[in-house]
Amino acid sequence: MDNKRKTLDSYFSSSTQKKSKSIVSQSDDGNNQNITLQSCDSHTSRVTINDEPVETSLMNSSQNVNVEKEQNVQSEEKRVGEVSADVIDISRSCQNPPTQPKLASYPRNNENRSFTAKWYDGRPWLEYSIKTDTCNSYYCRHFGAPSSSSNKKPQTDAFVNNGFQNWKKALDKSKGFDRHLQSNGHILAANNYAIYQQREQTQHNVIQVLGRSRTEQIRRNPERFIKIASALLLCARQTIAIRGHDESESSSNKGNFLEILKWASSTDPVVKSLFEDTTGNSTYLSGGIQNELIKIMADQVKQQITEKIRGNMFALLADESRDSGGHEQLSIVVRIVVHTDDDKDIIQEYFLGLIRLHEFDAQTLSNEIAN
C-alpha cells in the first residue's frame, strides 16, 4: 500500500489531446472559389484557394488554449496589423468580443456620410472604433496569418491595418465589405476563428465534466468515511488486532480491518467503491489514517466519561506494572458513582489508558496522572 496519504480535511474539500487531420471544403457560388483547409502539422495548416496553396498558422492542438489567453496585448496588435496603440475602444485580444457600439448618430465625413449600425447585421466580424471613426475586421486582426509568414506578403487591407473609412464604397461589392469578405486573408482568419471557438467550447465542456465528477466525489466521501470508521470501531470493541503482518495485494490475509471491508464490499456498493474508485494514495485505508481515527474515537469516549464525572463522586486509581517488553506502564482507571432514576447508585469503572514511565519518582508519577 502506498505510504503517501492525504489529511482527513482534504477528504471533504470541494492529456494529452489527440492530434487530428481535418479537411474543410467551401464553395463560393458567386466567385467559384474552392477552399480546402488541411492540417499539415501541429503548427500550420494548408488552405487551397482556387488550387493555390496558402499556409496559415493554427493553434497547436497539443497546447493549452490558456497559453493564448496570457499573450501580451501589445505583441498581438503588432502581429495582426500595425493598429495604432492609442486605439483602445476596440477589442485588444481574442478574449474580447467584437466591438460593435450602437450609437444614435455616427460622425459624418466631408461627403456627409457616416457609419450605420445596420452594417453589423450579418457581419459578426465587423468592429467599429468611435475614437477613429473607422471599422476593422475582428477575425483578421486576431486570427489572421502572421505578416512574417514566408508565403505571405504583409497585409495592406484597410480592415486589418488603419481601419476602413470609405463609407461611400462600404456596400460596393468590389471595394467594401463584400470585397474584404471574399479575400483570401479573411477566409483564412474566419477558418481559424471557427477552430478556436470549437476548441474553446471543448475545453469548457471538459471543465464542466471534471467539476461534476469532483462534486460527486465530495458527496460520496462522507459515506465512505463512515464505513471506514465503522469497521475500525468494530475491531476496537471486539479488542481484535486491526492490521495484519502482510497487507500486500498478494496476501491471503491482510488483517481484520481490511478483510472486514473486503467482505462488506460484496454487498455494499459504497465499500466496494473504496477499492475500485479511489487511487492508491487516497483510499484512506493506511495505518496512519487508522491510528488517527482511533485517537479521535478515544477522545470522544473520554469526553463522555468526563461528562459523567462532573458533579458526581469519583476516585482515580493508578497502578504501575511492567509489560512483556520490559517497559514500565502506568494504568489509569477512574471510578465513579452514577445516580439512577430509582435512587439506586451504581459504581462504574472506566479504564482511561496506559502511560509509559521513564522515571519513577513521586513527582513524575504525580505529573503524569495530572496531565
Domain edges within the chain: 23-203, 311-370
Is pLDDT at 300 greater than 80 in this prediction? yes
pLDDT digits (tens, 9 = 90+) for 231-257: 999 999 898 988 888 888 788 888 889
Closest alpha carbon to 44 in 166, 141, 149:
149
Collect all residues with Cβ–Cβ distance below 8 Å to 5 and sequence separation of at least 6. 281, 282, 284, 286, 288, 289
pLDDT band at 85 (very low <50, low <70, confident <90, very high): very low
Tell if the pTM clears 0.75, that is, is over it. Answer: no
d(CA 241, CA 235): 7
Mean of all residue pLDDT scores within the chain: 74
Is pLDDT at 352 greater than 70 in this prediction? yes
What is the average per-residue pLDDT within 2-23? 46
d(CA 193, CA 139): 7
Q: How many residues does the chain have?
A: 371
pLDDT digits (tens, 9 = 90+) for 205-215: 777 777 776 77
Instruction: Please give the residue that has the higher pLDDT: either 341 or 34.
Output: 341
Chain centroid to Cα 253, Å, comes to 39
